[in-house]
Amino acid sequence: MSDDVKRLLDRVCELIAERIDAGRIAAARRRHADMLAGRTSDYIPMVFGKTVPETADLPDFNWHEQFYDPAKSLYMQLKDVALPMAAAGGDGLPAVRADTGVVNCMSVLGAQYIVPEHTKPVVSQYVPKEDLAAFEVPEDVTGLGTMPRVIEHMEHHLGVLRGHGLGEMVRVFHCDQQGPFDIAAQSRGHDIFIDLYEDPDFVRELMDKTTQVYIAVSRLCKRLNGEPLDGGQVVDYWMENGGVRMCADSDILVGAELTRELIHPYMERAFQAFGGGWLHYCGGVRGFKRAEGLHLHGLFAEVDGLRGLNWTTAGDWLGEMRRLKDLGLVHLGSLQREDGESLDDYFRRALDPYDDRRGMIFSPELRDGEADVAQETWHKVQDERFGG
């Protein structure tokens, strides 16, 4: 680690230590765990950040630099994510990871990747079908693909945070593993959508392998950070009844019948290895009534071990939040704010689908200057709705 990067890391760790509050972290973890376990809490938690002026003149490092230097990656995550969370005074949990992109599990299967400057690593070459068919998942994946880099980053981050007395409050969570079908799709490429119809036996065999890889990579991360398999910091949230996040970015391109037959059994198996978890997928554009993924929400609710859903599809947000509540899934995420809507009215609208203090971990759309009053206003509106 160069002296310059060490000084930057020391500075952001100092800024976090000045702002982080152990009592607030404990309360936030309790609220997160309550939501994801289906329990009522003292307050529905709200996750947001706050700009820290002292970082305005600090430098940035591009994604290529971060991938090859764990100190630069940790510095950027602390400066841009963990520090704003610590400064906000809400229910956000400062945390970092081996931020090596979405390619980790695919690279274990042999997918080639590039490391650009402008974005995280991306798959650059798929794996031939015959190679995927012949691949056998080893018990030890530590030497495959990006795993040596993931290990290097996690061990570095853990050492630096512990050295600054932040190891218990700024957690190091698992790398990005995606999900069984997303790993398959980004290893095989677009042809997998033909395979679903023409060669479902190959898809089943591949899904079995990608599930094994998902589990092996997740277990590796849990072994490194010392957290139990079925709990701890699971990306943005604290859980006591699950230990992993899964992504379904490719899954939402598949119809319900094939999803139930060829995808969900493997999602379920992956979740069960960690006592459950939560699911994210990307899709949808603000201002358009597009429906990517909505056709699968009911099926997602059938997956044993799935606790909550983070989705980005535009449309009838409140209606879908009500639907998720009825399906028994926690809404993890935001609600689009209307033009001119006051903070009080926005918060009241966000709480409208809920009968008590459970069912959501909220990530609000805040305007300039609102971070200082957001948590107090959020609690006041909940007290008015549910009783103080």
What is the number of domains present in the chain?
Answer: 1
For position 1, what pLDDT does the model report?
64
pLDDT grade, residue 2 (50/70/90)? confident
The answer, yes or no, to whether residue 167 has pLDDT greater than 80, is yes
Q: What is the pLDDT of residues 276-286, one digit of tens each?
A: 999 999 876 66
For position 314, what pLDDT does the model report?
62
The answer, yes or no, to whether residue 183 has pLDDT greater than 90, is yes
For position 286, what pLDDT does the model report?
61
For position 54, what pLDDT does the model report?
97
For position 290, what pLDDT does the model report?
64
Q: What is the pLDDT of residues 13-53, one digit of tens each?
A: 999 999 999 999 999 999 999 999 999 999 999 999 999 99
Q: Which residues pair with 238 in a beta bridge?
A: 233
For position 41, what pLDDT does the model report?
98
The answer, yes or no, to whether residue 237 has pLDDT greater than 70, is yes
The pTM assigned to this predicted structure is 0.96
Cα distance between residue 194 and residue 190, in whole Å: 8
CA atoms within 13 A on the CB side of 57: 1
Q: What is the pLDDT of residues 31-40, one digit of tens each?
A: 999 999 999 9
Spatial contact of 93 and 16, defined as CB atoms under 8 Å apart = no
Q: What is the pLDDT of residues 325-342, one digit of tens each?
A: 999 999 999 999 999 999
Report the DSSP pairing between strands 306-311 and 122-125. unpaired
| Average pLDDT value for residue range 158-181 | 97
CATH number of the domain residue 136 falls in: 3.20.20.210
Report the DSSP pairing between strands 237-239 and 232-234. antiparallel
Range of the domain at 88: 3-386
